Structure 1
């Protein structure tokens, strides 16, 4: 008996077979057609593996996390953002967006740090297509600062941002709108 075979009361237990290896072969310049489906073999995984759980990010009041960020939708946008007496920083996000998840802790920190001076809200990109179209959100995450119901000029910022740069960005915007 070799070392790879185990014995039990029910009989021999063998390790699962490895998936087949596909070898590359030389291809002439004239035959660059993709391989047929039958040339691929699929490896069926072992049974008994735990299923992959889908992970959903939640924040602030909407997720019950105690942070200062509120998640809103199209129906709440006018009341929460456009009619606010304080500046509102809107973050457009999506659950599948890696950079959105990356800056989430910095945004939570920002909401707590600036809670006396501004309101921070998140809007889900996929669930609010009218807002995405109206404000022409092309990249995620997108940050837009609103004051007196209007977008502050040059406040739009797309992509991931460090905590330090986020603070600089917001300080410069808040200083410029308080002077104007």
Structure 2
């Protein structure tokens, strides 16, 4: 009995973090609701980040981000933000894990659709050519089914379960007798 308990405890200790890490990304919250735009740069002085940030501050572009339902994530020097508000370190790391990016010091710009798929991805020198016009054009070119994507709602739970076999006039059936445990072989 002690060995079984220790084995179970060991399995739970190993598997627990694996189950916890599944689906803990901030991107999971946005799936079906918004289009995440993720900008990853080694520092706040990176030209890719500065150009995008300046263009996002213009009123017409702010309205364009809102109309297209784009949420801006930035990871600058391993510090994450969502629409200018700090993300915790765990959320930042979960975001990076969810994107399945390799290590690198090059800036990256990624647009994720409402369906959770990457719609635009650029890295390094290619990222310097990405501007909000290109991002807006990518969103506008998406098929109508992706534009209208919403989170599926779970089906309603049945209010009352069907009566059990042998139930008469709405009365519950007698509980069955417990099965006899199997006999253990002698060693």
Task: State the TM bucket, normalised to the shorter chain.
Answer: 0.3 to 0.5
Q: TM-score, normalised by structure 1?
A: 0.43
Report which of the two has the higher share of helix: 2
Q: TM-score, normalised by structure 2?
A: 0.41
